[in-house]
Structure 1
Amino acid sequence: MGLNFELLKRVKTLTAYCPIHPDVHLVALKDHAEFCPKCAQNNIRHRHNEAVLTGVWQAYRRDFHGVLENDSIMDDFDLKKATFDNYEVEPGSEAELNLKKAKQIAGRYLDRNYQANTIITGLPGVGKSHLAVSMLKGVNDYIKPDASCLFISVNEAMRLIRSSFSNKQSKYTEEYMTSLMGRVNLLVLDDLGSEASFKRESTEASDWVQGVLFGILNKRNRTIITTNLTTKELKEIYNPKLISRMNKGVAKNDGVIKFTNATPDKREVIF
C-alpha cells in the first residue's frame, strides 16, 4: 500500500515522548488521540500475527477435528444427528446393554495406544450405524490432542470410486479414498458386506472390492465395522486375509457389539 500523503500532512509531531519508546515523539492527528507511531506499528504487526495464527488454527482444526463433518460419506443423512443421547432404548434391553458397551469402547479409543477394531453386528434397523456415529462423535470431541475421525458408507464409497473411472474430474479416486481412509485416526466402515456393495457382476469386480478393502484395513488398527452379516456369512464373501484384517484385536479386547432378534427393527412400520 502507498502512503496517504494528504493524511500525513495533517499529522503533527509533539514534543512529548512515548513512555514505552522514550526516543520516539508522540504524534497527533486531528480528531484523534495522540499516539506513538512505533506502538501503532507494533499493534498492526500483532493483529497481523493474530490473524495468521487464527488461520493456522482453523486449518489445523479442519485437518483433524473437521474431517468427520467435512469428509464423511453417508448414504443416510439422518445419521448426522445421531448421538448417544438420542439412541432410544428400553431399560434392561439388549439395546441398552449395547449402548453401554459402545460408550465403553469409545472411551478406549480416546487412548491413542488402544489398537483394536470393533465389530457391530446384527440385523438391519437395530441402530448399528447410529451407535457407530455416536462413538465417532465422542472420540472426535474429546480425544486430546485432536485426531481425525471418519464415517464411510461402504456402498456409497464403492459407487463413488467406480464413478471416478469414467469421470476424470472426480476427486473420489481409488488412490484418494484409500489414502483418506487409511490415514485417519478412527474410521467407521458402515454396512460392510451388504448385498448392494458386493453384488457379483463378475469375479473381477468382487476381487477389486476386496482389494480396495484390504488396502485400507491393512494400514489400520483402529476401525469400527458395522455389518448385517454373521461371521460365517462374512467368510463366504471375503478371503481369509481380509477377514484377518477385520478381526485385528477384536477377540482380545471383547470388541464385538452384537444385536440378536431380541432387538426389534427401529425402522419397522406396523400397518
Structure 2
Amino acid sequence: MAALLYESINSQEEKLDVGLDWHDEPEIIYFKNGHYKLMLNLKEYDITDECFCIVNSGVIRKLESLDEKGVEYSIRVKLEDLCFKNDSDPVNEALIYPLLKGSIRFNEFITVSDFGFLQVLRSFNDMVRRYREFGKKSNTNSVSVRKYELDSVADQLMIKADLLHVIALIYSFGMIEDKEITDTEKQVKAIKDSIIFIREHYKEKLYIRNLSELTGLNEQYFIRFFGSVTGVSPLDYINRYRVEQAARLLKDTDTHVYEIAEECGFHNIGNFIKIFRSVTGETPHKFRKRFGKED
C-alpha cells in the first residue's frame, strides 16, 4: 500500500496533539485551517494559514493544535512503492533514489503564494475525496484523528498515480533541494539516539547518565536539552513510554497486572499503579475493565 490518509478534525472534546517522533518515509501534511504549533528538527513554526508541510524522512516532528476549529490531513508516502521496476529508470535515478538516500529533500513548506500550490492542492484533494468515498475508515488512539485505507486495487493504483503527480508537480516547480548539513544535526541525532535507546531498553533499569553518556552531553545539560525539545524530562518520557506499552498489554492480553508491570520496567507494583494513574488518569485495573477484561 503506497499510503494511508489521516484526517484530524479538532473538537471541544479533543484537539490534535502528536508527540515527538520521526518516520522513515516523508509525510505530506495539509493544514486546511486552524492554528497549529509545529516543530521540525528542533525548529518551531506557528501555522495559522492554509499551507502544505512536507516532513522529510528522518525529520523529528511534533505537532499540536492550538484551537478547536482546525482541520488537517496527512499522507505518509512509501517511496519504495513508487519506484519503477527498471532500476536504471531516469525517474528512479534522478528523483526517487536520491529522496530515499536523503541526498535531496522536499522543501518543507508550500504556501498559497507559491507557484504550484493550487495544482498540488487539486491533486491532494482528489486523493482525500477518494479515501473518504471509497476508503475503509477506522479510529486511532486519538478521538480527533481518523485513518482511511483503500482495499481496491483500482483505488490504490489511482492513489499511486496521484502521489506521483504531486511529486512531479513539486519537482517541476523547483520545490526539491539538496540536503544541507546544519549545526542542529548533532542535536537531532542526540535526541533520536536517546529515544531509540529508551524504546529498546525500557524493560530494564534506566539511568539518566546512560543517556547522557550515549549522546556525549553533560548530564545536567542533557536533562535541560531533552526537556526543551520533548516538553518532558527524560524520566517522565521513560515512564510515559512504559505506561504506553503497559496500556497496550492491558488492553490486548490477559496477562496479570503485576506481570505487565514487571514486563514494562516497573519493579514495584505500587509505583506502577501510581505512575500509570498519573499518566492516564485511572488505575491499571480500571483501564482494563473498560475493555471488558478482568485480572
On whether the aligned pair clears a TM of 0.5, the verdict is no
Q: Max radius of gyration: which structure? A: 1
Higher RCO (CA-CA < 8 Å; seq separation 6+): 1
Task: Give the TM bin, normalised by the shorter chain.
Answer: under 0.3
Q: What's the TM-score, normalizing by structure 1?
A: 0.25
Larger strand percent: 2
